[in-house]
């Protein structure tokens, strides 16, 4: 079951400048940042709010790390802007299978590694009224060491 907006993915040419815009304009701080080589992105997660399912909602700012990455290709065609939305679920495998049965193309056979150790997959934008849609299961919260 999809229980929250996990994040909105925003493609930008210059991550540092875009992070500074969100900090100076709205007061949002970087919660986490990383490079995901497989996806070809450098990203910053800005946490907006916690959600009642124990998760949270973020803005995900994305800068391409190489010219052949999906985000670089998208930026060349569209310029900066909203690139995808991501719904949070406790069961990305089950939800992706259910959605696939409804005739929507799921882009990965198995979920791949996403931000902060999450497991992610994508639905084809052409099957979702023009919206690239991601499904995310967050990494389990580590229990504290005794
Ligand atoms: C492409 N299209 C889009 C789109 N990207 N429409 C809406 N939103 C987007 N973001 C349209 C495009 O305009 C074309 O329509 C058509 O789809 C085919 O696009 P293309 O330019 O030929 O590109 P493809 O087919 O090579 O690749 C498109 C897909 C690709 C969606 C298959 O972008 C993909 O695999 N995306 C999933 C991975 C990804 O985006 N990773 C970056 C975020 P017309 O012109 O034919 O009408 S990584 C992330 O979010 C992480 C790590 C995380 O959350 O943790
Ligand atoms: Co994303």
| Residues catalogued as catalytic | 7, 43, 60, 84, 134
Structural domain total, the chain: 1
Give CA separation, 2 vs 33, 96, 107, 138, 140, in Å: 24, 10, 18, 12, 17
| Residue at 104 is within a domain | yes
| Residue at 143 is within a domain | no
| Residue at 115 is within a domain | yes
Segment 92-108, tens digit of pLDDT = 999 999 999 999 999 99
Segment 43-54, tens digit of pLDDT = 999 999 999 999
Is the confidence at residue 11, as pLDDT, over 70?
Answer: yes
CATH of the domain at 86: 3.10.180.10
Structural domain of residue 92, as residue ranges? 2-137
Ligand 1 pocket member 120 (CB < 6 A): yes
pTM confidence score: 0.97
Mean pLDDT of the chain: 97
| Residue at 67 is within a domain | yes
Percent of the chain with pLDDT over 70: 97
Question: Which one of 132, 134, 138 would you pick to mutate in the ligand 1 pocket, going by the greatest count of ligand atoms within 8 A of its CB?
Answer: 132
What is the per-residue pLDDT for 140? 86
Is 134 in contact with 121 (CB distance < 8 Å)? Answer: yes
| Residue at 146 is within a domain | no
Ligand 1 pocket member 134 (CB < 6 A): yes
Ligand 1 pocket member 107 (CB < 6 A): yes
Give CA separation, 32 vs 61, 91, 131, in Å: 11, 23, 25
């Amino acid at each position: 079951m999809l229980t929250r907006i996990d994040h909105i993915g925003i493609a930008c040419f210059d991550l540092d400048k875009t992070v500074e815009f969100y900090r100076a304009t709205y007061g949002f701080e970087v919660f986490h940042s990383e490079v995901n080589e497989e996806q070809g992105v450098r990203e910053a997660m800005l946490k907006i709010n916690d959600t009642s399912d124990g998760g949270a909602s973020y803005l995900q700012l994305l800068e391409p790390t190489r010219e052949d990455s999906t985000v670089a290709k998208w930026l060349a065609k569209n310029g900066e802007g909203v690139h995808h939305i991501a719904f949070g679920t406790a069961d990305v495998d089950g939800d992706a299978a259910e959605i696939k049965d409804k005739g929507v193309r799921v882009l990965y056979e198995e979920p791949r590694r996403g931000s902060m150790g999450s497991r992610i997959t994508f639905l084809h934008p052409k099957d979702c009224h023009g919206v690239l849609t991601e499904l995310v299961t967050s990494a389990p919260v580590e229990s504290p060491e005794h």
